[in-house]
Amino acid sequence: MATIVPESRSSSSDGRPASQTLDRGLRILEHVTESNAPLTVADVAAGVAMHRSITYRMLRTLEDHGLLSRDAQGRYQPGAGLAVLAGRFTPALRARAGRHLLCLAVATDKTAFLVVRHGDEAVAVEVVEPPAATAHVSYRPGLRHPVDLGAPGLALLAGEPPRPHERPEVTDARTEGWAYTESEVIMGFSAVASPVIDTAGVCRGAISVVYAGPTDLAALGEVVCRHAQGLGSEL
């Protein structure tokens, strides 16, 4: 499987990263956290197209700060320090969202989550799984996908002013208050999402549910929209 090496997100006017060392460390951190399994030094070096000795030094530094950890075989995986940093991200938004997500998960028997926009991606920052459901879709904080795909991303775009050539689904979501997609992010699963607009009219994120199988789409959209509006009124 081909590996895509992400470009630096912060660069000087000549295209080079403002800090090459920091850029390397962040690329390595992203690569390890996006992997579904622990990685060896050689795996990481190949994945980010970096010399093995440089990769090793970066990995050890990230491990020293608790952002990465090593398993019994010496392979690298996300560390507990990431959870600490994540807990400091938009604390007011996440704290207020938790109650709405729990109510939504209980009411629908579906996994509910909050996403925010990070550049051109929609990133899940808070997830609540339905406590009493016999089966549900597992989702984890940190999952991300392009903002122009999937109901959560479309809801984020619907919370912003109209743009030329936007997807018709975004325009519809801006009118209806919620977006729906099927198999756009995870094959076989559907999602409904609604933008969270604060009292100043700014889109702060989107509340979404993910599920498999049939459902009363109109009723689900209404309840997701209601909780998104409720959260927005508190911000």
Instruction: Please report the DSSP string for 132-186 in residue order.
Output: T-SS-----TT-EEETTSHHHHHHHHHTS---TT--HHHHHHHHHS-EEEESSSS
Q: What is the pLDDT of residues 154-191, one digit of tens each?
A: 999 999 999 999 999 999 999 999 999 999 998 999 99
Q: For the beta carbon of residue 144, count every other beta carbon within 10 angstroms.
A: 17
Can you tell me the mean pLDDT for 3-13?
A: 41
Q: How many CB atoms lie within 10 A of CB 115?
A: 30
The reported pLDDT for the residue numbered 9 is 43
Which pair of tokens denotes residue 29?
């951190």
pLDDT at residue number 216:
97
Residue 47 has pLDDT above 50, yes or no: yes
Amino acid at position 20, single letter: Q
Confidence of residue 16 (pLDDT cuts 50, 70, 90): low
Rounded to 5 degrees, φ, ψ at 115 are -120, 150
Residue 1: which pLDDT band, with cuts at 50, 70 and 90? very low
Q: How far is it, in rounded angstroms, from Cα 34 to Cα 144?
A: 9
| Res. 2: pLDDT tops 90 | no
Q: Which of 68, 159, 81 is nearest to 114 (CA)?
A: 159
DSSP 8-state code for residue 47: H
Higher per-residue pLDDT: 157 or 133: 157
Q: In this structure, are residues 170 and 152 in contact, taking their beta carbons and an 8 Å threshold?
A: no
